[in-house]
A and B are shown apart, each in its own frame.
Chain A
Amino acid sequence: MSKRPAYLKNKHSSYWVISALLAVLIWVMFGYTTSEIELKSLVDNSEFRGRTFQGRVQEIAVPKSKISAYFMKEETAPLVAVSFVFDKSGSAYDSEDKQGMAVLAAATLSQGAGKISADRLRDEMALKGIKIAFEAQKDVFSGIITAPKQNIDQAAEFLRLIFAYPRFERKYVESSKAQMLQSLAAEKENPQKELWLEFDKKIYKQHPYGRNPLGNANTIEQISREDLRSFVKERLAKNNLYIGVAGDLTGEEVANVIEKMFGVLAAENNLLPLENVAMDWQQNELEIQRDGGQNIAAFVMPGTCRKCDDFYPLYMANYLFGGAGLNSKLNQQIREKEGLTYGAYSALAIYDKVDLIIAGFSASKEKYAKAKKMFAELRDKFAKEGFNEDDLAAAKEYLTASYNLRFASTAEIAEMLAYMQKYDLGIDFLQKRNEYVENVSLQQMNNAAEKYFGAGLLVAEIGIFDEGEN
């Protein structure tokens, strides 16, 4: 059943003999503990060395319908996944009086299609192993449909009906609205969530990015089923659509599937464009009083865009600073050395209308001030002094060695293919990606650290704070 792909052919080399001898020598010289070189020899001498993922990305186009997709043939599981991303159609594009529309549409879009009731559609899909999920983010409205290979045509027909004749059955629209209202209330139970929602409001001010994607009780109430049907017609169009397909199909089959799924969509999305966010880096700290087990901090710094020249330098600087899990500079100091927190983090937040770095941690009240001070010191240190060659090498090693992990699931591959198009990374991105990483110099990485860690910083915190302590 399982097919063994070409990369399984082992590449043996005589190199391992020399490495093994060297490892023994090192052992004798340095005795008890295991050296980096010995550990490295376990990789260099591995019988599995040199297997590389051979997946090839093809572009499949259906010119008459102006639809195209990136496709990777994947034969090891009898599954197909189709990921679709509609640009400029997420919750930030909801009108002021109908906030929550994109989220509600995601929850209800598959509730019936054409002559098929919601309940029957759900049964028929489940009986055939077809899964469909929609999601609204700030910028995009996206979805993924997965099916066993033999049922992909049926899946395509269901998705076609959903796009062409969505039913948005009243009872499900009502139950989804009730769930959104409960979610709005439940968000306030979670201090981390409350902190970021309030922080977004403050950072983005009047920009739609500052709104809660769920909307509020008034705006949710305002959304009609007619509005939801308009949502599909107006926002989900061919000119803002990116499609990724992974699975055991031929190119021709992919063309048929995407034509059937997306051919019914309108030609153009006619939404008003969104303004860029104008960041104000001079704002005061936001402090929310709330008694909980810990105080929580959130930070925002400027970032860079996905296609900008300094994307990889900053990506790697952030990886080292707060992206590398327990090995990040933040966690090494604040968690591993001092035991002040269960975890600190930082991440690039790349949106269409603003690029940021976000960061944060939580800590007991008595440890919080010290952890916060350390965060500030570390940020300052890496902005001013930068990283060293060892750091750079470590980042490169991780990013290249973890490369193959992205191919673990069919759905994840399809999604990656869709986003490669959204960010305009090129069809050969997977071949080039490790080169992009390898080509970053220490100077470039430290320039990025200086430019972005050393510029603006916005701070928000929630918890119990003594007067004057912060």
Chain B
Amino acid sequence: MIFGLCLSFETRAENFNIKEFYLDNGLQVVVIENHKAPIVQQMLFYKVGAVDEKPGQGGIAHLLEHLMFRGTAKIEGQKFNRVLEQNGAESNAFTAQDVTAYYQLLDISRLELAMFLEADRMKGLDISKEGFATERDIVFEERKQRVDNNPLAIFMESARAALWQKHPYGNPVTGEDDEIKNLTRDMAVDFYKTYYAPNNAVLVLAGDVDADAAKRLAQKYYGNIPQSEFEATQFEKLPEKYEAKLTMELPEVRVGRLVRMYAAPSINVEPEMVYALDVLAEYLAGDENAAMYQELVLKSKTAASVEVSYDGIARSYGSFVLAVVPSGDMKSDFEDKIERAWRKAISNLTKEKIDKVKQKMLADLVYLQDNPASLAQIAGYIAASGGKLEYLQTYANKIASVTAEDVRNAAEYLQNRTPKVTGILYPEGEFRNE
């Protein structure tokens, strides 16, 4: 989920052509008209993810996502994939901390087929014992491939655990090795029955479809699916401030890294601050002219690269992440230099500089009118995270009204009033030699 919304002043939100409505059973439907080609992207977001897992059941949300491709009472076995494939669809799904989403990009003539199939598996899933066992093996292999083969992923997972402590954002979406092995079919069925329901979902249709047709078809395919009752997950409030430090040395690592993560505001936590944080991220490292990039990569040549990303679209806290790769070996004063570069960037911040950053962000927004799949993903994520689509409609104006003072305050907030972790990863053998 990368929400680097960037566009042009003259782009008005209504150009996005987004409409929304609700079915009687609570299903929220978002329609994004874009008639570039006779294609459409259907995305069904469930407002459920790894954060909703019970203790010890880490990975069940993700495993269920896999099982959703293994057959329903009506569409047995792996016919779901086969039918979509033969109909030319690009079909896949992803599980995140906050949401689970299923999507198909396909020819508009196949939209009804995709809606039929997606609606069918909202309630009709039929998990066989064999299918469950095989799919659990597959997600185990997936974790091995994504994490165990990749030292950087192990480092990032450790840093997240240190930052989020008992908050569920600290748990890996895949689950831990032991957890995956202990997942049962009953856990999956229970999770499915509890959370997969129209009143816990957002349907996005983006492409060559208008709102009237979307409404008719959404009612036809999804309108009769019953609601579910469940207790919404409550998130633990983090202490106002703490700072964790993590130093790791891992085999096979050849390049050091420093990562600093903040538990940041989001559309649901201190929501008025998200725009200033978007601007702050761009100001610090949005391009090679950005303040920290200039200082660390070009002036002091301390770093080979500096990246800052902010994601404020979340059900609980957002995350603000600074990632720096040293130029050459990792020196002992690396963290100090980064800290100084941050402070210098903030004290040199002026209205003119912030205005320029904002204009660049706004000039970039026009690209959201291009591929319907991009806006579908963003709009779906916002809605499924409990945000309002008004967020998109007013985004350009909100960014335009961010002041230099707002950005300074946002930086101050991150530094002094949020939990953070600083993780340093050393190449094999280099930490001990210090």
- A interface with B by C-beta (< 8 Å): 1-5, 7-8, 32-34, 36, 39, 42-43, 45-53, 55, 74, 76-79, 118-119, 122-123, 126-129, 131, 146, 148, 171-172, 174-175, 178-179, 181-182, 185-186, 188-192, 290-294, 296, 324-327, 335-342, 362-364, 367, 394, 397-405, 407-412
B247 within 8 A of A: no
- B369 in contact with A77 (CB, 8 Å): yes
Known: A78-B366, A189-B150, A398-B88. 17 other contacts (CB 8 A): A53-B38, A129-B364, A148-B363, A175-B298, A179-B304, A182-B325, A290-B252, A294-B141, A338-B134, A341-B138, A362-B145, A394-B86, A400-B88, A402-B89, A404-B107, A407-B36, A410-B370
- B327 in contact with A408 (CB, 8 Å): no
Interface string of B341-370 (1 = CB under 8 A from A): 000000000000000100110011011011
The closest CB in chain A to the CB of B136 belongs to: A339
In the bound complex, residues from chain A placing their C-beta under 8 Å from that of B69 are 326
A2-B35, A5-B35 given; A33·B360 CB < 8 A: no
- A129 in contact with B363 (CB, 8 Å): yes
The closest CB in chain A to the CB of B373 belongs to: A408
Segment 164-214 of B: residues with Cβ below 8 Å from A: 208-209, 213
Interface string of B63-95 (1 = CB under 8 A from A): 000000100011110100111011111100000
Segment 125-149 of B: residues with Cβ below 8 Å from A: 133-142, 144-145, 147-149
A51-B108, A294-B149, A341-B141 given; A79·B38 CB < 8 A: no
- B83 in contact with A33 (CB, 8 Å): no
Report the bound CA distance from A419 to B423 in whole Å.
44
B105 within 8 A of A: yes
Chain B nearest CB from A215 CB (Å) reads 16
In the bound complex, residues from chain B placing their C-beta under 8 Å from that of A172 are 288, 298
In the bound complex, residues from chain B placing their C-beta under 8 Å from that of A397 are 86-88
Interface string of B1-34 (1 = CB under 8 A from A): 0000001100000110100000000000000011
The closest CB in chain B to the CB of A79 belongs to: B370
- B interface with A by C-beta (< 8 Å): 7-8, 14-15, 17, 33-39, 69, 73-76, 78, 81-83, 85-90, 105-113, 116-117, 120, 133-142, 144-145, 147-152, 208-209, 213, 251-255, 287-289, 297-298, 301, 304-305, 325, 327-328, 356, 359-360, 363-364, 366-367, 369-373
In the bound complex, residues from chain B placing their C-beta under 8 Å from that of A53 are 37-38
A34-B74, A77-B369, A362-B145 given; A127·B39 CB < 8 A: no
In the bound complex, residues from chain B placing their C-beta under 8 Å from that of A175 are 297-298, 301, 304
Other-chain residue from B36, B88, B137, B360 in contact with A76 (beta carbon distance below 8 A)? B36
Other-chain residue from B36, B75, B108 in contact with A34 (beta carbon distance below 8 A)? B75
Report the bound CA distance from A175 to B7 in whole Å.
28
A39-B116, A126-B360, A397-B88 given; A292·B106 CB < 8 A: no
In the bound complex, residues from chain B placing their C-beta under 8 Å from that of A412 are 371
Report the bound CA distance from A420 to B332 in whole Å.
53
Report the bound CA distance from A36 to B79 in whole Å.
9
In the bound complex, residues from chain B placing their C-beta under 8 Å from that of A47 are 112, 213
In the bound complex, residues from chain A placing their C-beta under 8 Å from that of B137 are 339-340
- A42 in contact with B208 (CB, 8 Å): no
Other-chain residue from B73, B135, B372 in contact with A339 (beta carbon distance below 8 A)? B135
In the bound complex, residues from chain A placing their C-beta under 8 Å from that of B90 are 402, 405
Residue picked from A74, A129, A335, A403, most chain B C-beta under 10 Å: A129
- A293 in contact with B144 (CB, 8 Å): yes
- B87 in contact with A364 (CB, 8 Å): no
- A127 in contact with B360 (CB, 8 Å): yes
- B288 in contact with A394 (CB, 8 Å): no
Report the bound CA distance from A402 to B107 in whole Å.
7
In the bound complex, residues from chain B placing their C-beta under 8 Å from that of A55 are 37
- B288 in contact with A122 (CB, 8 Å): yes
- B105 in contact with A51 (CB, 8 Å): no
- B37 in contact with A404 (CB, 8 Å): yes
A1-B15, A53-B37, A407-B37 given; A292·B252 CB < 8 A: yes
In the bound complex, residues from chain A placing their C-beta under 8 Å from that of B81 are 325-327
- A43 in contact with B39 (CB, 8 Å): no
- A178 in contact with B328 (CB, 8 Å): yes
The closest CB in chain B to the CB of A332 belongs to: B78
- A178 in contact with B141 (CB, 8 Å): no
The closest CB in chain B to the CB of A3 belongs to: B35
Report the bound CA distance from A186 to B253 in whole Å.
8
Other-chain residue from A46, A118, A119, A179 in contact with B112 (beta carbon distance below 8 A)? A46
Other-chain residue from B7, B17, B136, B151 in contact with A189 (beta carbon distance below 8 A)? B151
- B327 in contact with A36 (CB, 8 Å): no
Chain B nearest CB from A123 CB (Å) reads 6
- A342 in contact with B138 (CB, 8 Å): yes
